[in-house]
Structure 1
Amino acid sequence: MKATKRFIFQSLLWIIIWLVLWITQSFDFGFFRENLLSLLFQILLIAGLIFFAAPKLLFKKKYLVFLIIGLSAIVLGSYISSTLFSMPRPPIPSRMPGVENIPTGIPRYTPRGAPSKFLIHFLLLAVSAVLGTFLETLLYAQKKEEETIKNNNERLATELKLLKSQINPHFLFNTLNNIYALSAISATKTQESISYLANMLRYVLYDCEQAFVPLSKEISYIENYIKLFTTKSSKTYPISTTYEIEVKGVLIAPMLIIPFVENAFKHSNIEKVDNTFLTIKVTSKENQIYFEVENSKSITVEIKDEVGGIGLENVKKRLAILYPDKHELIIQDLPESFKVSLKLSLK
């Protein structure tokens, strides 16, 4: 709500309150004349609060100056409104009715007086100032929260784009190395590999622009990745895949599980075929996705290049951003294998 609208709203609120009070006084003109200035000062006080005091002092943490100016305005407004247009009070009787002669030394009866007009106007102005400050603070806090959420969303979107930009070149780097090695062996398989790569790049360049993609496309990407790998040789690689999709159309963040698959291929030493294995399992139910990949360990110690570490670190960050408190990632370094289990809650 803009400042002008807030000012109009609060002004109308106090006008309505004073109108109701005037009605209860049977439209007494004296009541109207005595309290008109108080209403005008309330409106001026609200205007000063909304357009100056709150944004320039309160929200910039100049609390002492805000308090001094606010109290001064309330006291000054109360004094002026209670002094001008004031009607004289009826005189207080010096004797009780029916009693003419009261001996000297005996206190005369004096009725207890009502609160002073200054005090009444002071309280009215103070209430309007406190109410206005409360509403301004509440709306300011709401605005800041909305800005914080917006900034966080923009930051997360930027970070996700950065993470994707790191994943895609990493994938392309490894794949082109494989095709380059294959080109010296078989032209036919090279063409097949390029076809698989084209399908994968189409997924990366177009589908991955969306925040979420069908799980079936992510699986197709993995299948193309496996085909791209197996075309390097006529060997039968010990690769096992299981896909159990109960509900079609279930969505997942793109390029989320492929880094684990890629890492498994890299460190399984599966090119040697003997005494090696690699298993991939994807299970999808109505509100859950379960992914598991396990690979045999290489006997020889491999030196990891800097590029190779990008995928796993990025997928952990993306999980934290996209599935906060809705994912369970377990990485097990077993004696003879390396196993990754990922459970995603889609609720």
Structure 2
Amino acid sequence: MSIKQKIKHHLKLEANRGYAISTRHHIIFWTIYFIFNTIRWGSYYQDYWYSLKGNLLGFPIHIILCYFNIYFLMPRYIIQKKYVFYTLLLIASLFFMLLVKYYLTYFLISQNVWPEGPEETHNLTFNYGITMMLGELYVISFVTAIKITVDWLQEHRRVTDLEKTHLETELRLLRTQVSPHFFFNTLNNIYALTLEKSNKAPEIILKLSELMRYLLYETKKRKQSLSKEVICIQNYLDLERIRYGDSLNIEMTISGNMEGKRIAPMLLLTFIENCFKHGADKNLGNVTITIDFRIENSWLYFKVTNTMPGEQESSKDSPTSGGLGIANVKKRLELGYKPNEYDLKIYEHSNLYVVELAILLR
């Protein structure tokens, strides 16, 4: 099943639960409304039997008019913006139901068809007609408002679920870009060492297999243990130490409690990779990289700096301009965290490339 099919299937399932109106809901609504109306008018008339008979006659009319409006008139005319036709047909249906109610009341219940009126009414008068039509319009408006509210909630939930599904899909796609990007750089390192017939190649391959095991099996979740991420970074740094030897100086400090802290997988590793891409790979002398992890409460304050080469090849290769890795991290931060849950700064200072990230840990 493709991603698009999964999204459609997911939304179809959501439409069948949550805010969907079932037959049971219709029955419960009209039953409660009927009981309330019968008690209200029975108290007003001081005749509950008469109120029951009147509501038994009137409620089928209410139900027919309401459903005729929300399931026929509105979809055909309101949605199509045919407001004049809608208004005329609604008035016509109200008038038709007025005639039905008048004659049924007159012949089945009482010849005084308007007992709550100012005087006894035996004929179809103008005041009686206007009052009855306004009463029906009130019921229609009430039911229509409920239907519109439920439809809005359904649509809001559908859009929210679609955005959530799209977000999760995009995050998965972004994460799948990280591993090939990382492996591409590491395999390039191995290739260079094999050309030199270096004895370091087997050790690098062993370290790489450990990283591959972690990346393939431990990074599928949206959030991963911070301690495991740090171990992954340490393994990566070990690979680079083997490659560069004494020309590479790495200083890494960790402070605070990492227990129970979680972070998006392979988020920080990209910044470490960037130190080598724009620092060590272009620098002919010794390279110093400092990495600092500081955990305070639920926040991680991460800072990494590396010495930069003496001359930049071109402005587009400047580390602050980013590339696939940095652009990927920025996008993942935007999608996976709220704006107030992280703060990323990337800048150059005194021939140092500096990354500072403050991020809320789950």
Is contact 2:39-2:48 (8 Å) kept? no
- The reply to whether residue 69 of structure 1 matches residue 89 of structure 2 is yes
Q: 1:176 is aligned with what amino acid?
A: L
Is contact 2:42-2:51 (8 Å) kept? no
The match for 2:324 is 310
Is contact 1:259-1:315 (8 Å) kept? yes
> Secondary structure of 1:208's partner?
coil
The match for 2:353 is 338
Is contact 1:46-1:128 (8 Å) kept? yes
Distance 2:198 2:352 in 1: 35
Quote the offset at 1:270 in angstroms: 6.5
Q: 2:216 is aligned with what amino acid?
A: L
> Secondary structure of 1:231's partner?
helix
Quote the offset at 1:328 in angstroms: 0.4
Q: 1:128 is aligned with what amino acid?
A: V
Distance 1:34 1:159 in 2: 59
Distance 1:59 1:220 in 2: 58
Question: RMSD of the alignment, in Å?
Answer: 2.8
Which of residues 306, 309, 326 in structure 2 aligns to 1:298? Answer: 309
The match for 1:175 is 186
Q: 1:242 is aligned with what amino acid?
A: T
Higher Rg: 1
Is contact 2:171-2:336 (8 Å) kept? no
Identity %: 28
The 3 A distance-change label for structure 1 pair 160 and 60 is farther
The match for 2:7 is none
The match for 1:242 is 253
Is contact 2:41-2:48 (8 Å) kept? yes
Residue by residue over 1:198-219, the C-alpha shift from the partner in whole angstroms, topping out at 9 and shown as x without a partner, is: 1111121111111110011111
- The reply to whether residue 161 of structure 1 matches residue 172 of structure 2 is yes
1:198-347 maps to which residues of 2 (within 5 A)? 198-269=209-280, 274=285, 276-302=287-313, 304=317, 309-325=323-339, 326-346=341-361
Distance 1:7 1:46 in 2: 12
The match for 1:107 is none
Quote the offset at 1:261 in angstroms: 1.0
The match for 2:133 is 122
The match for 1:43 is 63
The 3 A distance-change label for structure 1 pair 139 and 117 is same
> Secondary structure of 2:311's partner?
coil
The 3 A distance-change label for structure 1 pair 43 and 196 is same
Is contact 1:279-1:294 (8 Å) kept? yes
Distance 1:67 1:195 in 2: 77
1:97-116 maps to which residues of 2 (within 5 A)? 113=119, 116=127
The 3 A distance-change label for structure 1 pair 257 and 63 is farther
Distance 2:68 2:212 in 1: 61
Quote the offset at 1:122 in angstroms: 1.7
Is contact 1:49-1:132 (8 Å) kept? no
Quote the offset at 1:280 in angstroms: 1.0
Is contact 1:179-1:190 (8 Å) kept? yes
Distance 2:49 2:74 in 1: 35
Q: Whose helix proportion is higher, 1 or 2? A: 2
> Secondary structure of 1:224's partner?
helix
Distance 1:79 1:153 in 2: 52
> Secondary structure of 1:235's partner?
helix
- The reply to whether residue 13 of structure 1 matches residue 32 of structure 2 is yes
Quote the offset at 1:113 in angstroms: 4.4
Which of residues 124, 137, 144 in structure 2 aligns to 1:133? Answer: 144
Quote the offset at 1:255 in angstroms: 1.1
Is contact 2:283-2:308 (8 Å) kept? no
Q: 1:339 is aligned with what amino acid?
A: V
Quote the offset at 1:33 in angstroms: 4.9
Unaligned runs of 5+ residues in structure 1 are: 91-111
TM-score of the aligned structures, taking structure 2 as reference length = 0.80
Quote the offset at 1:273 in angstroms: 7.0
Distance 2:262 2:268 in 1: 13
Quote the offset at 1:79 in angstroms: 3.1
Q: 2:332 is aligned with what amino acid?
A: R
TM-score of the aligned structures, taking structure 1 as reference length = 0.83
Aligned pair count reads 325
Residue by residue over 1:211-232, the C-alpha shift from the partner in whole angstroms, topping out at 9 and shown as x without a partner, is: 1100111111111111111112
The 3 A distance-change label for structure 1 pair 64 and 167 is farther
The 3 A distance-change label for structure 1 pair 89 and 272 is closer
The 3 A distance-change label for structure 1 pair 31 and 224 is closer
Is contact 1:270-1:276 (8 Å) kept? no
The 3 A distance-change label for structure 1 pair 29 and 9 is closer
> Secondary structure of 2:246's partner?
coil
Q: 2:92 is aligned with what amino acid?
A: S
